[in-house]
Structure 1
C-alpha cells in the first residue's frame, strides 16, 4: 500500500567546531551537497573562552574562482572578556565537484590597560591600540557540488512576464519589448534573451533590484521578420526539477518605403515636407539608441562591486543593531581603529570618562558618515 504523506523537506546541517587558544570557532552549513549556483548559508560562531584578556577578531572567507559570496549579517554580544561573534554568509558554488571554502581569521589580544591607554590622547590624537595580532590557521570546509542539467541558464525559482508593445512598424523604427524575470536564485545579469541575427539589430538595457531583473529591449529591422520562441532553461534545486521560461514566437511586419516616391522629379525641390519626416519616430529611434549605449556601458561596469555594496550596507546595519555603547566600541575597534578614532574616543569618554555625550548621537553620526 502506498502512503502519500506529502513532501518532506530535509535541511542538511554540517557542523564543525574548532578549539583554539582562548576561543572556539563553530562552522555550520545549511547544505553540504548543493547544485552549481545554488545558494547555501554558512554560519560561523567565534566565541572567547579565556576571560583573562581582551580579544578582538577579524574573520572573512577567502576569495576563489570556484565560488562567490557575500556576508549578509554579523551579530556580536558585548560581554566583559567574553566576545561572541556570529558571521552569516551566502555562498554560490560556480563549478561541480569538491570545493574547499577557505577562511582568514586574525585573533587580536590586548589588555584593559592597553585599551584605556589607546584613548589617552586628545580628541584628535587617539593613540594606536597596542595589541598582538595572531593569524589563525583554519582548515577549509569542503562541499560536494552537483552538476546542473545541460544548457541550464538560471538556477532558482523564477517566473517571466513580457510585453511586446507593437508588431507593425516602418523600416528601422524601434520595436519595444519589455521583459521582467522575478524570483529567488542565481540570475546572471548578462543573460542574452534574444539571439543575434542579420535580420535585425538589438538594443538592450538591464536593471536589477531585489528579486527582480527588468530588460528593456528594442529591435530594429529594414524588412519583416519572425522571432522564434525565446526559451530560458531554468533549474529549481529545491525541487530538483528543470523548467522553461518561454516568450512565444512572434511575427513582426516592417513596412519598406516606396522608393519611387522618394525620387525627386522636379529641379530645385521645395523643402522636405512634414509628411516625409516623422519626427516622433526619429526621436523614438534615438531614445532606444540611447538605451543601447547606456546598457552597453552599464554591462562593462557590472562586477563584484555589488557584493562590496552589500557588505557596506551590512556594516551600517550592524551599527544600527548595537544596543550598548560598549558593543558599538568593540565593533569599531574590530573594523578599523584608525578610521573611527574620533567615534572611539567619544565612546570611551562616554563609558569611562565624564559621561558627556549621547550614545544615539554617536551612532547616528556614524550611520551618516558611512552613507556619504
Structure 2
C-alpha cells in the first residue's frame, strides 16, 4: 500500500486543521523572463519538494486573479521519490496585459496526512471510501515581479503569425453571396477581438470563426483559426486588402500581414426568370448551380440574421460547440483531459468527472476512458 501512497487522489482530501507557517517543504518560483512586452508569453514554474518526511504530503498552487495579466495552467507533475517524499511541479502560461511593474501572486497550500488517515480510504468496498483528514498549511510566498514594457506601435496581434485567404467566386448575382475564408495560423497571444473583416460599405456581412487547433505552450497559444464570411451586396463591391500590424517578441520586430484584394461583380437577376408557372426551370440550359447558390445565400442570411438579433456577440452555435468541445474530443489520456477541463470548463459542474478521471489515471477505476468522455460531452452540450 505504501508504494501507492503517492497516487492518492486529490479529490479524497479535505481540510482538517488550518495552521500557520511551518517548515514542511522547500519551494522555488521562477519565470523564464523578467522584462517583457505587453501580451508577450511568459512561462512560470513553481516546484515544491517535501522536506518533512513524517506524513504524506500534497501541494496545491492557485494563481491570484488580476486585471494585470492572463494566466493559465500548462502542466502539473507529481513525482514520488521515496517513502513520504515527493515533489510537485506546476507550469503556467502568463500574458501581461498592463505596462509597468506587476506582481504575480499565488496561494500555496500544503496538505499533510498521516498513514492512519491515508489507510482509511482502503477500508470497505468501492462504495465505502473514507475521506482523508489532513492538516493544511497556507504558506506565504514572495510574488514574481515582471517589468512590462509598452509596445512602440499600435498592433492587431502579438506573436508570429501568417494569414491566407480563399474565395469561392468573385462573380455573384444579386441573390447570392461572396463566400470568403481567412486562415490565421501561428503562435502568440490569442486575441479574441481580432477579425479580418470589420465592415464594407453597402455590404451585409455574416461571419463565423472556428478553431482547427488551439493549444497553450510556453511560447504562447498555437493557433489555427478559420474565419468564414458571406458578403451580400446589391451592386459591385471590393473586398479590400487587409493590413494586419503585428509585433513579434521572439524576433523583436514589427511587421505587417497583408491579404489579397478582391473585386466582386454583382449581376442583377429577375426573380421571374428563375421558375415558370409549373415551378420548373425555364429553358433547357438552366444552371442548377444558380439555384443552389441562392439557397445557400438565403440560409446564410437567415443564420446571420438570427445570430445578429439573438446573440450579437457570440459566434454561431455550431462553431461555438466545435471550438469549445474539440479540445475534449482530442484529449488522449485522462491526465490530458483533466487539464482541459480545469483550464476551459471550470464552471460546468464537472468535478465528479475529474474525480473519475483521476481514479482512472491511477488505475483505481474500471470505467472506460471513452465512456467518461462521452458522459462529459453529454453533460456540457
Partner secondary structure for residue 88 of structure 1: strand
Residues 1:370 and 1:338: Cα distance change in structure 2 (over 3 Å): closer
1:299 corresponds to which of 311, 315, 320: 315
CA RMSD between the two structures = 3.7
Partner secondary structure for residue 124 of structure 1: helix
Once residues 30 and 171 of structure 1 are traced to their aligned partners in structure 2, the CA distance between those partners, rounded to angstroms, is: 56
Quick check: 1:71–1:314 contact (8 Å CA) kept in 2? no
Counterpart position of 1:237: 249
* TM-score, reference length from structure 1: 0.73
* TM-score, reference length from structure 2: 0.71
Counterpart position of 1:85: 88
Counterpart position of 2:194: 191
Counterpart position of 1:214: 226
**Deviation at residue 155 of structure 1 after TM alignment:** 0.9
**Deviation at residue 188 of structure 1 after TM alignment:** 2.1
Once residues 66 and 87 of structure 2 are traced to their aligned partners in structure 1, the CA distance between those partners, rounded to angstroms, is: 27
**Deviation at residue 315 of structure 1 after TM alignment:** 8.4
**Deviation at residue 339 of structure 1 after TM alignment:** 7.6
Partner secondary structure for residue 84 of structure 1: strand
Once residues 244 and 34 of structure 1 are traced to their aligned partners in structure 2, the CA distance between those partners, rounded to angstroms, is: 21
Counterpart position of 2:5: none
Residues 1:339 and 1:90: Cα distance change in structure 2 (over 3 Å): closer
Counterpart position of 1:316: 334
**Deviation at residue 338 of structure 1 after TM alignment:** 12
Counterpart position of 2:55: 53
Partner secondary structure for residue 315 of structure 2: helix
**Deviation at residue 281 of structure 1 after TM alignment:** 2.6
**Deviation at residue 288 of structure 1 after TM alignment:** 2.7
Once residues 281 and 193 of structure 1 are traced to their aligned partners in structure 2, the CA distance between those partners, rounded to angstroms, is: 24
1:182 corresponds to which of 180, 185, 188: 185
Once residues 156 and 297 of structure 2 are traced to their aligned partners in structure 1, the CA distance between those partners, rounded to angstroms, is: 31
Once residues 290 and 245 of structure 1 are traced to their aligned partners in structure 2, the CA distance between those partners, rounded to angstroms, is: 32
**Deviation at residue 306 of structure 1 after TM alignment:** 6.1
Residues 1:337 and 1:81: Cα distance change in structure 2 (over 3 Å): farther
**Deviation at residue 153 of structure 1 after TM alignment:** 1.0
Quick check: 1:169–1:253 contact (8 Å CA) kept in 2? yes
1:161 corresponds to which of 145, 164, 177: 164
Counterpart position of 2:220: none
Counterpart position of 2:291: 279
Counterpart position of 1:329: none
**Deviation at residue 313 of structure 1 after TM alignment:** 5.7
Aligned length: 316
Output aligned runs, 1:87-126, within 5 Å. Answer: 87-126=90-129
Quick check: 1:206–1:295 contact (8 Å CA) kept in 2? no
Residues 1:190 and 1:34: Cα distance change in structure 2 (over 3 Å): same
Quick check: 1:189–1:206 contact (8 Å CA) kept in 2? no
